[in-house]
Structure 1
Amino acid sequence: MRLLTGASSSTCDDSFEFAPASITSVGSIVLAEGCDQKRSIYWAHAWTVADGIVTQVREYFNTSLTVTRLGGASRSSPSALGSEIAPAPGSQHCPSIWESSLSNRVGKSVPGLVLAI
């Protein structure tokens, strides 16, 4: 963090290069992931893009990321705020649309996180 914010000067020993191994877009979200084998660091970014401009960046280190799309439930009427029709048992109402694939390459167990879009 100190290197990224400029609080620390960059030298060859402490530099960190974000070299994406994969980049995928899901609607207005761009997902990128990479791995630094030397430091055993896995990273994933979720960038929100609007009109060609990055408006939000979410950054995850050493965390396995699964992206799901919220959906499948519909409101019974526009005025019935908060009352949703429950999906049928066994239906997949929050399908996984992207999963990180490099998190297992850091040589250690990492926590998992679900990002709902």
Structure 2
Amino acid sequence: MELHFDLFALDALDAHAQEINCGMCRELAASTASKLERAAPVRGATAGEGDEIGIDPGNETPEQRNKFLVLRLYEALNARDHAAVQSLLAPDLEWWFHGPPKHQHMMRLLTGGGGSSGGFRFVPRSVDALVAPTPTTSTTVIAEGHEGRCYWVHAWTVGADGVITQLREYFNTDLTVTRLAAVAVAASAKCVWQSRRPDSATNSLPGLLLAL
């Protein structure tokens, strides 16, 4: 599997942006150091478990299907199931990263970089699928979580064909997501998602706006 990463790192310590190009990654590593686990809020959302959360799999909305697809990706990463990961990601996955460069844990996990990411776990505390403007439009699925002093947000883009085509990753950054209308953009920006950090009242982080 080949992945193309287009990375942008924003150092939260000195507020200077850095552009990082990773190039083409030949294949997922045979050995992945990071072990992921699912948190309670997202259990029961995998394929075949829809009944546990009161959803008929046959009557899922597109947003629910895309949410479950992203959850399956985290599970595949947790199980080190490289074949399943490859089946969910586009071969030319586009990657954007914002945050301190030392926190590029997901990139190292997928590319086999290992190193300091060995003990980091991506445990989504919430997963939200935003409603697509049209049935043929890509959907954005946002997952957020934290480990220790690290807070992260993943904004996955899922195509109409059910394949993940893009990941925007944010570390130690407060994210606000807005949707812009095609007409009268300035007057039509609507907030559709905001970071929900448990320590937001006591810990200040740089803020960033993602416009869809």
- TM-score normalised to the size of structure 2? 0.41
SS in structure 1 at match of 2:205: coil
SS in structure 2 at match of 1:71: coil
Contact 1:21 1:34 in 2 (8 A): yes
Matched, 1:110 2:172: no
CA distance, structure 2, for counterparts of residue 52 and residue 15 of structure 1: 30
For the pair shown, the structure with the greater C-alpha radius of gyration is: 1
Contact 1:72 1:94 in 2 (8 A): no
Compare the two structures and name the one with the higher helix fraction.
2
Query: Which residue number corresponds to residue 114 of structure 2?
Result: 8
SS in structure 1 at match of 2:188: coil
After the TM superposition, list the runs of 4 or more consecutive aligned residues in structure 1 that deviate by more than 4 angstroms.
none
* Distance change (3 Å), C-alpha of 1:9 and 1:103: same
Residue 93 of structure 1: how far off its partner (Å)? 1.3
Matched-pair identity in %: 44
Matched, 1:95 2:201: no
Greater relative CO (CA pairs within 8 A, separation 6+): 1
Q: Structure 2 unaligned segments of length 5 or more: list them.
A: 1-103, 133-138
Q: Structure 1 unaligned segments of length 5 or more: list them.
A: 75-85
Equivalent pairs counted in the alignment come to 98
Matched, 1:49 2:158: yes
- TM-score normalised to the size of structure 1? 0.71
What is the root-mean-square deviation of aligned Cα atoms in Å? 2.7
CA distance, structure 2, for counterparts of residue 21 and residue 44 of structure 1: 10
